[in-house]
Structure 1
Amino acid sequence: MGNQQHKRITSTELTQKQIAVLKATTKFTEKEIREWHEGFIRDCPTGRLDKKKFIEIFQAFYPKGQVENYCKHAFRTFDTNNDGRIDFQEFLLAIATTSQGDLDTRLAAVFDMYDISNDGLIDEKELTTLISAMYDLLGEIVCKDDYEPKTIAAAVIEKLDVNGDKKLNKAEFIAGCKNNQIVRQLLAPNI
């Protein structure tokens, strides 16, 4: 029992080794890492963010949206070790990738979220699923056929699919988003 308590305490402490790793893999300073950690521990006293809390946090940012579908995919992307929880290192690396990386890196992170099957390709069904989740997140109501997620997904795949396989690989996705502002606004609005 004493061992379990020790593990719980150390999971909320930030070690010099962790700081060194995070400084080497992000552009955050030690001071910024410590500030992010303080906020993370304040919101997640156990040192781990579960799906329920993740959804609560998103709901605060999108009070009019239905965040559950989007959060399911975002959580899967952030939880890199697939243990059902996001620890501080996973959290900060996700923040750094989506905010500090160059355009290719940030678009690659978006691709990874859209690649639900984790096969290195995005098909129309996956794209439709994520576009629907984004509509839910933003509280969008779709009235016209031209704006239906399935219609948009088919049009995006047709526009970006260079090799003609009716799927997008990471290179096609990144190039398409970089070369088409409208597509980038649609698929990666915060980038």
Structure 2
Amino acid sequence: MKAKNRDQSLSDSRELDGSYDQLTGNPTSKSKKTIKQRFLTLLPCCNPSAAPSISQNSVEDDFELSTVCHRPESMDKLQEQTKFTKKELQVLYRGFKNECPSGVVNEENFKTIYSQFFPQGDSSMYAHFLFEAFDTNKNGSVSFEDFVFGLSIILRGTINDRLNWAFNLYDLNKDGCITKEEMLDIMKSIYDMMGKYTYPTMQDDAPIEHVENFFQKMDQNKDGVVTIDEFIDSCKKDENIMQSMQLFDNVI
């Protein structure tokens, strides 16, 4: 990643002005422009500068003649399986291959790439959780297919698709419910990642407060855990969360 992109990412993080939802830590509608810019920066393959002159033939040749360790599915098949156009997939693939020449990325490399965009904090734990969410096959690596399948849900999925993906991210042990301990781990990882450059500055007890607010609104039957039904139902009733779910619409 070019130095100017890293500098831009740091600048973006310093511009965060309390724009994270107090319930989940998700961005609010007030930060739409900043968050879209951040998302583009976090995904170098979505940045136009990552692919200054991509020809259709060049990318298709890569798919057909690639000698990398992992050979991705054909463009046509991926287009059928995701909600991206062929042109969008070409841009995504070029950027992914630039960052991951072998065709796959393991967790350590994923953390290294991700850390470039949050130099003011420690993003390793959040990157771990995110990697787990993208590694749907649980084989310790994320391929281009894994990457675009996840992005397709996040960027183009229905509200239920996106909420299910978010629930899976928070459900760390994948047992079908979110505990306070799991949510606290997520909130701490976000706090560690953002560092001390948020404004207003997050207090040390902010992760605990987020968790308590989360469970107060989400744990409808007060049994100490949040199920997928409770999560989806509560999110759909929260205007801020619904607005934040739309921040990445048409981002590519």
TM-score surpassing 0.5?
Answer: yes
Check 1:84–1:190 CA distance in 2 against 1; reply closer, same or farther (3 A cut). Answer: farther
Matched, 1:107 2:163: yes
Report whether the alignment pairs 1:143 with 2:203: yes
Change in Cα spacing, 1:105 to 1:128, as seen in structure 2 (3 Å) is same
Change (3 A) 1:93 1:52: same
Structure 1 residues 78 and 143 mapped into 2: Cα distance closer, same or farther (>3 Å)?
same
Q: How many residue pairs get matched?
A: 178
Give me the whole-angstrom Cα distance separating, in 1, the residues matched to 2:92 and 2:202. 37
Q: Look up the SS of the partner of 2:142 in the other structure.
A: strand
**Could you say if the C-alpha distance between residues 144 and 48 of structure 1 is closer, same or farther in structure 2, counting changes exceeding 3 Å?**
closer
CA RMSD of aligned residues (A): 2.4
Q: In structure 2, do the counterparts of structure 1 residues 84 and 179 end up closer, same or farther at CA, with 3 Å as the change threshold?
A: same
SS for the counterpart of 2:236 is: helix
Aligned residue type for 2:229: A
Q: Hey, what's the Cα distance between the residues in 2 that align with 1:173 and 1:137?
A: 24
Q: Which of 19, 24, 40 is equivalent to 2:96?
A: 40
SS at match of 1:9: coil
Return the match for 1:84 from 140, 145, 157.
140
Tell me how far 1:12 sits from its aligned partner.
4.5
1:161 alignment counterpart: 219
What is the alpha-carbon distance in structure 1 between the residues aligned to residue 112 and residue 229 of structure 2? 34
Provide the C-alpha distance between the structure 1 equivalents of 2:119 and 2:166, rounded to a whole number of angstroms. 23
Asked whether 1:152 is paired with 2:226, we answer no
In structure 2, what is the Cα distance between the partners aligned to 1:62 and 1:37? 24
Give, in whole Å, the separation in 2 of the partners of 1:79 and 1:153: 26
Partner of 1:58: 114
Distance 1:56 1:189 in 2: 28
Deviation at 1:56, TM superposition (A): 2.1
2:72–2:145 contact (8 Å) kept in structure 1: no
How far has the Cα of 1:34 moved from its partner?
A: 2.1
| Alignment partners' CA distance in 2, 1:26 and 1:171 | 25
- The correspondence for 1:123, drawn from 179, 182, 194, is 179
What secondary structure, in the 3-state scheme, does the structure 2 residue paired with 1:125 have? helix
Question: Structure 2 length as normaliser, TM-score?
Answer: 0.63
Report the alpha carbon displacement of residue 73 of structure 1 after superposing the two structures with TM: 0.6
Letter aligned with residue 178 of structure 1: K
Q: Unaligned regions of 5+ residues in structure 1, if any?
A: 1-7
What is the letter of the counterpart of residue 158 of structure 1? Q
Higher helix share: 1
Percent identical pairs in the alignment equals 28
Higher relative contact order (CA 8 A, sep 6+): 2
How far, CA to CA, are the matches of 2:141 and 2:158 in structure 1? 27
Please say if residues 116 and 126 of structure 1, whose CA atoms lie closer than 8 Å, have aligned partners that are also in contact.
Answer: yes
User: Normalised by the size of structure 1, how large is the TM-score?
Assistant: 0.82
Q: In the superposition, relative to structure 1, how do residues 77 and 40 fare at CA in structure 2: closer, same or farther (>3 Å)? A: same
How far apart are the structure 2 equivalents of 1:33 and 1:53? 22
